[in-house]
């Protein structure tokens, strides 16, 4: 894994995708992310994000979910 291509989910541009390589969250937040399908090794695509720390819409597999800015900032993605 090349660390120069690893960014937080909030840094991705809309339409950009990558692979989840880390979850920098506590046990509870990690469990919530995983229950939404956001797990290490999964492909993820950023659908949209709001300005000023608003929610982020992502697609994991065939499912789209919205997560808060703080939660999205804890998801590390390796950009292809």
- Looking at residue 49, its pLDDT comes to 79
Mean pLDDT of 2-7: 78
- Looking at residue 2, its pLDDT comes to 52
Q: Exposure of 40 by Cβ count < 10 A (0-12 exposed, 13-18 middle, 19+ buried)?
A: middle
For the entire predicted model, the pTM comes to 0.88
* 43 neighbors 17 (Cβ within 8 angstroms): yes
Mean pLDDT of 41-69: 91
Domains and CATH numbers, the chain: 3-75 (2.30.30.90)
């Amino acid at each position: 894994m090349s660390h120069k291509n690893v960014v937080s989910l909030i840094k991705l541009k809309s339409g950009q995708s990558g692979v989840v390589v880390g979850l920098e969250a506590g046990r509870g937040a990690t469990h919530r992310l995983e229950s939404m399908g956001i797990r290490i090794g999964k492909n993820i695509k950023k659908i949209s994000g709001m300005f000023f720390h608003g929610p982020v819409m992502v697609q994991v597999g065939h499912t789209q979910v919205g997560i808060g800015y703080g939660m999205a900032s804890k998801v590390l993605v390796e950009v292809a």
